[in-house]
Amino acid sequence: MTRAGVDALLGQALKHLDAFRIEAAADLARQALAQDRASVGAWRILALTAEASGDLTGALSAYEGALALDPGDAALLKGLARIALDLGMPPVSDAFSRRALARNPEDAEAVCLLSRALTGQGQGDGAVEVLSAHLTERPESPEVWNALGLLIADRGDLASAQTFFDEALRLAPSLTPARFNAANLLMTRGETGEALSALERIPQTGLSPRDRATLVFSRACARLRLGDLSGGWRDYAVRNDPGFPGSASFDIPGRRWRTGEALKGEDLLLVGEQGLGDEVMFAGLLPELLDGPHAPASLALAVEPRLVSLFQRSFPGVPVTSHATRETGGRKVRRLSTTSNEGEPTGAWAPMADLLPDLRPSVSTFPDRERFLEADPGQVRAWREWLATEAPGLRVGLLWKSGLMSGARNNAFAPFETWAPVLGSPGITFVNLQYGDCDGEIAFARGALGVEIRTPEGLDLKQDLEGVSALSSALDLVIGVSNASFNLAAACGAPAWLITAPDAWTTLGAATYPWYPRVRMFASQTFGDWETVLQSVADALAERVAG
């Protein structure tokens, strides 16, 4: 094929790429490469299509192929910086971003990528400095104002973040990332109705698959937070879209069941999805699925390995196997762990939350029940005996953070020092249920507050979920945030109080917590006002002790 023929293929590929017809663009780029392996344009298009489809290792390989042919191309350097960030390699992204900036110090995109790389390396102050220095010289850069606003919002300074988003939108009123971030800022403040209106005004035409999926997911959270379960579940389906950051694909034998299809008569495998706490929360669907009008002909479960024995006890007669998640091509792929036919579907399979639109179309369809998981009775007795000898007074388990505490997620949890009114409550023995590194918080409670938080010896709070479930069930009360262990405690029927932020979608706009109706909810009404919430918890504890 002549050079003109290769250029014609690339021209068609670019048209498909601009219209987000990813496969068509990639196919044409491969045809061009078959004719000319030295075509930088073909490698570039192949990299962009792989990036858009979530094939990060494929994108990395294609970008490297293009860069080998044109080592000074700033667009290729920025592409590699983006991919490195998505692959969790911020130092590599740092290096490529700096090489791009060496080519063009005024490149706003490269500055934003460098700031993200620095943040990923724990150098948040350095990221702020990089963005601020660029704005000092070039204050007309809306993308940099937006990046600075996002960074400051993650630190909890919403007022300053709003100022930066406003400036970005003054300079570029149609800048989609700034509009999106400003809408999410409203949701973080608890102004969910205004946030949804702002999200709905952002057009989806022209958005990349990643940006579109992120927008739709934020819209889902807003709708669910307002109690619009019909629209919320419809948008929530984007959680497993290939374009959604961090989504997992499923490599499961059998036919995938789709929402709205008949369940009755199906041989169905349900696969746990997302994090461990989500698997537990969504398992609340199973009792109604087994005994209700939608009951399939047979049901099997694939859950996180640490949950298998608990689910086997809780749902006798239902085959329970485990799933495993691996990184393939820069994407998470969830498969069945078993290599035998046991537990594998003979008919259809579905991610567990795909049943929500059919089984939970409104808040009123959530059942009022004490529990749906059964802790090991023998372990519960053993923990009660331990508590009787080691823990005088009211025995209260504590959970105060998630296993993932970074960026904006920090804003969803109260700083540990604000727990002081709760920890100062008399007549209580506090028992640690918090997994992960919490030595610093326990030392703070002991040294600054004079309160001993008992950590049960011999119990791995992260791996031994049977033990965590049994200990929670033996306690008088569990107080905490919605992490995996809190979900286990609530699902097993432990008396539990939930502390939640004003933008938590899982509240579903209800006055009580629909997933676990016996849970008492303490919700912050204003962003960052944890003191009021935790004082309310302390007051309720005093009443509980007095009673």
* Distance, first Cα to last Cα, the chain: 87
333 lies in the same domain as 411: no
Across the 547 residues of the chain, what is the mean pLDDT of every consecutive 10-residue run?
82 88 91 90 92 87 94 94 93 97 95 96 95 96 97 92 97 96 94 96 88 95 96 96 87 91 90 95 95 89 97 96 85 79 67 96 94 97 94 93 62 88 94 94 94 93 97 97 96 96 90 94 88 95 90
User: Is 366 part of a structural domain of the chain?
Assistant: no
DSSP at 479: E
383 lies in the same domain as 302: no
- Going from the C-alpha of 321 to that of each of 122, 266, 439, the distances in angstroms are 38, 19, 34
- Going from the C-alpha of 137 to that of each of 78, 122, 141, 151, 165, the distances in angstroms are 21, 25, 10, 20, 19
- Going from the C-alpha of 79 to that of each of 97, 309, 388, the distances in angstroms are 9, 45, 60
Quote the pLDDT of residue 405.
45
User: Is 234 part of a structural domain of the chain?
Assistant: no
- Going from the C-alpha of 294 to that of each of 232, 272, 317, 430, 484, the distances in angstroms are 22, 19, 18, 43, 28
52 lies in the same domain as 150: yes
User: Is 150 part of a structural domain of the chain?
Assistant: yes
319 lies in the same domain as 294: yes
Number of domains in the chain: 3
Quote the pLDDT of residue 340.
46
Structure tokens at 483: 């992490």
160 lies in the same domain as 56: yes
Angle at 329 between CA 323 and CA 333, to 5 degrees: 15
Quote the pLDDT of residue 345.
47
User: Is 386 part of a structural domain of the chain?
Assistant: yes
507 lies in the same domain as 448: yes
CATH of the domain at 534: 3.40.50.2000
Q: What is the pTM of this model?
A: 0.89
336 lies in the same domain as 291: yes
397 lies in the same domain as 468: yes
* 91-115 exposure pattern, b = at least 16 Cβ within 10 A, e = fewer: ebbbbbbebbbeeeeebbbbbbbbb
State the residue range of the domain holding 426. Answer: 377-546
